[in-house]
Structure formats: structure tokens, C-alpha cells
Chain A
């Protein structure tokens, strides 16, 4: 049975605008859990409340109400004890001291968590090798590439020895190769060390590739909380690409659009294509009935391939709210 390591219950947070003095709700009654050894994607458009949620989990922002427990420890009443179990790489590239070297940064942050140099020496060696930073260990951070800085920031978070690691946009600004390398490292961390990772990213490829489950938030609320493969399946079966022999008449096109508003018709020289996304109440056979009635010749029917970015966009835009809530 899955062991819950992070529990977020009815979390709320508002900020007061300095000029207008009005309150802005950043997080509005968010609840979710994270299982031990899981990579969870926390997604949402800009301003959805992801970073505020991440910071509240880290203990850097105090929620207005609600509770967060890390490994069963309440992170409000026992903040410092809860922080033993959590480390994070926050968005941006200033998680490190630029005038210290790679090794000095690792030693300094470990020291600030109360660890002695001796205690972490072998761990630092391992991490330097694992993150391929050994040849840069005496290089100052301001001389490293963005990718190397990001790898070092993750290594520093690893060195904390916490069960839960939060990564806010870990691949932002990295080139394809380094981004891939970071993904592999994260997978390795979860596979070999059974750590739990909560990740936020705008790169849906990263999410699709790494996460088993995602919590999508929008306007401070949880919109969906499901496994990535379930979300993919949910939307995959509802989108079709139909190749037609010949073209549709104006009337036929209008008729189809009336019944299937999300339909896209693309005529070509000899053939034409219909791309259709069905709503929850519609069935593919309804479309076939119309095509048959109108005697429109069908060449091929394929399920439209959909990537996670499209799924995310649909969920965020609320186009498929019914589908998601019905499934939930």
C-alpha cells in the first residue's frame, strides 16, 4: 500500500496588494497527497499558485489556513523538524553562492543543515561523480554553465538527505542535452534512492516523461489530480482524425459543425480531413451516422495522437471540465 509522505489539506493563501490594498487569492482550498517514492507533477499556468504552494510545503510561506504534514510532521507547529525531511531547488538560478566553488557550496549548505564536513565527504564525492561535476569541483559557480549550476543545485538538495525534494522548474533555460541529463538523474534518484520528488514545470515533455501523477491547479484551485496515463487515455479516445474521399459540400460542413462544434475540416486536392474532438455526451457513432446519412465516403479513421501539453491546455482552459470531473 502506498505510504503518504506529504499531505496538503485545505490550504489557503491570500496576499494583499500594496497599492490597492485588495486581497488576491493565490491558493484557494487546495488538498492533495504525495506518496513515498513518487514523482508528482504540480502544474498550472502562470499565476495559478504553484510556487506559493511549493513554498508553503517548504515552510517558507505561512498559509492563511489549512495544514501540511511532511512524513507525519506538521510543518507549521514543528516547522524546523518538518524541514529535516524536505529540500528544494527553487525557480531561478540563485540557489547557490556564486563566489564559492562547487565543493564549497556543497559543504556550506550541508554545514548549515547541521552536518559536519566529515559526515558528508563521501556523499559529496558520490554526488560529484553522479552529477558529472567532479572535474568542476574547484570551479566557482559564476563560471559554470546554467546547466551545471542547475545540476549543482539539485546535488545540494540531494545532499540534505531529505526524503522529499521539491524542484521548481528544474529544466528551465537548459539546452536539450542537459535537460535530458537532468531528467535521467531525477529518474535515477527516485529509482535507486526511493526519494519523493514534487516537480513543477512548464515543459510538458518533462512532466509526461517523469511524472506518474499530476496535480493541476488553476486560479488557486485543484482542477485535476490523476495519473498522467489516465489523463492521456481520457483525451486520446475522444479525438479522431478521419480521412474522406473527396470533399464536403457547404451544407454538409455546416451540418457537421452544428453537431460537432470542435470539428476541424481541412480540404486537400483529392481528399479531405476531419479532425474531431468529442464532448463527454457525444459518441463517435453519432458522427458515423451523419457521414452515412450524407453519403460521405470515409477512407480511414484514426485516433488522434495527443501529447500531454494538449491535455494540460484542455484541462486548464476548462474545455473538458465535465470529462475530468466525471472521471474523478
Chain B
């Protein structure tokens, strides 16, 4: 119950900041809309007409997951950096809920808020382009949730390292390309990537959207890998975050950024 209060406070903060930085929010909305429309019309214009639908779905799924991965994994690093620079990280460190719960609720709140926005814009773009993607919510949602759990684990790892390494920003810049690689490369090309965070989930969502597979049609192996990835990466993410927090506290790094 107390965690729900932390989550609700952070979702409220997210909405307040979207409202307060209205020009940025509008710019973000316009950018997404233009990108989606560009994808719809661009692939229609220059792509192979026989595979046009599959290409559009492939690119859009990859783009949305890349955005989510960047949001969850990269954004939390920037947030920790900002909090430490502003001096508010220590205030969060004094909460009896623990920094990890606050950071997790930040991850959840930014994901929920921005995901709602991006899905809304996707539907608006489909309406504008007159092309409708196969969105099987019942099949996509459980895969998405498990995929996000593994992304949160990765986000916690980055958040932990950001607390102790000052020069992490340079790495965060590079990380966005690594994330792009993980989301855009199909598993058929590199099957071992199934055990990397969120890659299996992205592949399964593509399978649902492009080939119309339902959740019940996936094999036990696929679902097991997805569940294993979620538990493993979240567990390891939390472990690393707590170790980094302890290290930062023993070296007095929460304030001296």
C-alpha cells in the first residue's frame, strides 16, 4: 500500500512536469506524430509493396521498443545525475521507502505516462494514414509487462552505476545505440540474443503484430525465456543497485557529485 502511495506521488509529478514544461511536451508529441506518419508513408512510398504491411509493423514495433528502452534504461541514469547535481538525491535517500523503490516508481510512472502518450499517437497516426496495424492487446500486454520488467532491471543497473560513476553520461550516449541494436536485430539472425534483456519480448511482440500469433500459440520455451529474463534481469538489477547504493553511502557520494 505504501509503495502505491510512492507510485501515485511519482505519477502525479510526471504529469505536473509534462504540464510545466509544456513546450517540451508539445515538441515531443509533434516529433512522435511526425515519425509515425513518416514511417507509414515513407515505407509505402519506397518499400516493397508485397511486404509493405510487415515492414511498417516491424519498424514501428522496433521504434516503440527502442523508445521504451531508452526511456527506461537511459532516462533513469539522467534522472539520478540530475537529482545528485541538484542535491535532492540525499532527500530521497532519507526516505524510509528506500531509493530503489522511489526509482522503481519513477521508472513505472514515466513508462506508464509516456506509453499512454505514444500509443495514443500511434492510433492517431494510423487514423491519419488510413493504415491499421494488428494490435492484439490481450496477447501483447502480458509479453510487454514481462519485457518491461527486464528493462526495469537494466534501468536499475544503470541507475546504480550512475550513483557511483560521475562520467556515466558519456556511456549513456553510447548506450542508446546498443539499445537500438538490441531492439532492431531480429532473433533469427542472432538466436543467443534471446537471453539478453527485452530482446525475446520484442521478438514475440513482432510475432504477434506481424504474423498474428496469439499468446496461447507461443511454446513453453518462449514463455519460459521471457519469464526467466524478467525475473533474472530485475533480480540482478536490484542487487546491483543496492550494492551501488551501499558503496555510494560508504564513500559519501550521494551529495558530492
Contacts and interface: CB of A to CB of B under 8 A. Distances in A.
Contacts of B20: 99
Contacts of A131: none
Main secondary structure of the interface of B (DSSP, over half): helix
Nearest to A109: B91
Interface string B83-105: 00011101111111110001000
Q: Which of A52, A60, A97, A110 has the most CB of B within 10 A?
A: A60
Nearest to B246: A62
Interface in A61-109: 61-62, 80-81, 83-84, 86-88, 90, 92, 94-100, 104, 107-109
B13 A113 contact: no
A327 interface: no
Contact of B87 (A15, A80, A88, A95): A95
Contacts of A60: 90, 93-94, 249, 252, 254-255
A114 B87 contact: no
A87 B94 contact: yes
Given A52-B252, A61-B252, A99-B20, A80 B5 contact: no
B9 interface: yes
Interface in A174-188: none
Interface string B5-20: 1101110110011001
B93 to A, nearest CB: 5
Contact of A114 (B3, B91, B249): B3
A227 interface: no
B94 A114 contact: no
B216 interface: no
Contacts of B91: 90, 95, 109
B91 to A, nearest CB: 6
Contacts of B97: 80, 112-114
B252 A97 contact: no
Given A15-B251, A60-B249, A117-B8, A112 B92 contact: yes
A80 B97 CA distance: 7
Contacts of B12: 107-108, 111
B256 to A, nearest CB: 10
A80 B96 contact: yes
B211 interface: no
A315 interface: no
A58 interface: yes
Contacts of B90: 55, 58, 60, 90
Given A60-B93, A84-B96, A15 B13 contact: no
Contacts of A87: 94
Interface in A232-263: none
A205 B39 CA distance: 68
A59 interface: yes
B16 A104 contact: yes
A96 B251 CA distance: 24
Contact of B5 (A52, A92, A116): A116
20 contacts: A55-B90, A55-B255, A58-B93, A58-B94, A83-B94, A92-B87, A94-B88, A97-B88, A98-B86, A109-B91, A111-B6, A111-B9, A112-B9, A112-B97, A113-B97, A114-B3, A114-B6, A114-B95, A114-B96, A114-B97
Interface of A: 15, 52, 55, 58-62, 80-81, 83-84, 86-88, 90, 92, 94-100, 104, 107-117
